[in-house]
Amino acid sequence: MKPTSQSRAIQTAAIALPLLFVAIAVTQMRIDSRATSSAERQDELILSSPSAIKKLSLGYDSLMADIYWTRAVQYYGSRFAKHGAKFDLLWPLLDITTTLDPNLIVAYRFGAVFLSESGAGGAGRPDLAIELVERGIAANPDDWHLDVDLGFLYYYRLKDYPSAANAFLAGSKKPNAPSWMPVMAARVAQKGGSLETSRLIWAGIYESNKDPKIRERALRELKGLKAAEDESQLNQLADQYQRRFGRRPATMEDLRSTGLLQATPVDPEGFPYVWGLDGQAQLSPASPVVIPQAPQDQPKPKP
């Protein structure tokens, strides 16, 4: 009996799939290798080309995208927090992943984090992170989460407050977008890099994400921002105390005894604030709270 066209297709697929996975394995080994000659470097560039990988996928684009996304996570994880670590292949891996599957939202969202973090925490390339998220928005125009990510990148990484406001505003017009997004857009446009604005953004990130790691990060930032606000208020009270008594308060009891404080203030983790040698309020050395560096408004260009 002659094989039918359907059986021939099945046989072809049975032969092609093992070859595909062999090609994947070979490709990964070559991408990871440290090429020394110009010829080897050229091979690496060819093998990490999205178009070349797409041709190798033989129609199994989503499967290949999952494999490359897993590889990107492993690549990042193997270098995270290591002094002097390089993340040169992070962008090519993410580029391939999102080219193969433009709807893999997690690759855009976490990939942007991997790219934008600086030092040992990532590639220190917010420009590529923005390019990645903008690609995700173009491929997934109804997903407002990506607009939040884009606004975050412009706000924290580039301190480009008009672009951040525009990103939040664009996201606010999408289906099921939360009500705080237009408020956030207006606040960023009006106040730029203030502590109040930073707290609003992190609160939005905390409320809009289900991933426990992102929520933990957001909560940590919110606690730090609350502590920064507390310190600012305590310093204002200390200024009042100094105007009245000609010196800075030495303890919180000094403020309480004059009625400027009703109770001993504590940080979000329950540790009492203290006065530093410079007469400014600060966190207790025992407190785990970390105050983030607040973005500052960009200086106006000189005429």
Q: Give me the pLDDT at residue 217, please.
A: 82
Give the CA dihedral 266, 272, 275, 281, nearest 10 degrees.
-20
The distance of Cα 227 from the centroid of its chain, to the nearest Å, equals 22
Q: Give me the pLDDT at residue 115, please.
A: 95
Q: Give me the pLDDT at residue 242, please.
A: 94
CB 98 within 8 A of CB 107: yes
Entry pTM: 0.62
CA distance 247 to 254: 11
CB 176 within 8 A of CB 193: no
For the packed helices 212-245 and 195-208, what is the interaxial angle rounded to 10 degrees?
A: 160
Q: Give me the pLDDT at residue 296, please.
A: 45
- Which amino acid appears at position 183 of this protein? V
CA distance 98 to 182: 29
For the packed helices 180-191 and 144-152, what is the interaxial angle rounded to 10 degrees?
A: 20
Q: Give me the pLDDT at residue 60, please.
A: 79
CA distance 101 to 78: 24
**In which residue ranges of the chain is pLDDT below 50?**
9-10, 12-14, 16-17, 34-46, 295-303
Instruction: Provide the pairing of β-strand 281-282 with 274-275.
Output: antiparallel
- Which amino acid appears at position 270 of this protein? G
For the packed helices 105-116 and 61-79, what is the interaxial angle rounded to 10 degrees?
A: 20
Q: Give me the pLDDT at residue 13, please.
A: 45
CA distance 141 to 139: 6
Length of the chain, in residues:
303
User: What is the CA angle 137-143-147, rounded to 5?
Assistant: 60
CB 241 within 8 A of CB 254: yes
Q: Give me the pLDDT at residue 14, please.
A: 47
CA distance 2 to 102: 41
- For 232, phi and psi rounded to 5 degrees? -60, -45
For 24, 107, 122, 202, the CA distances from 67, given in Å and listed in that order, are: 9, 12, 21, 31
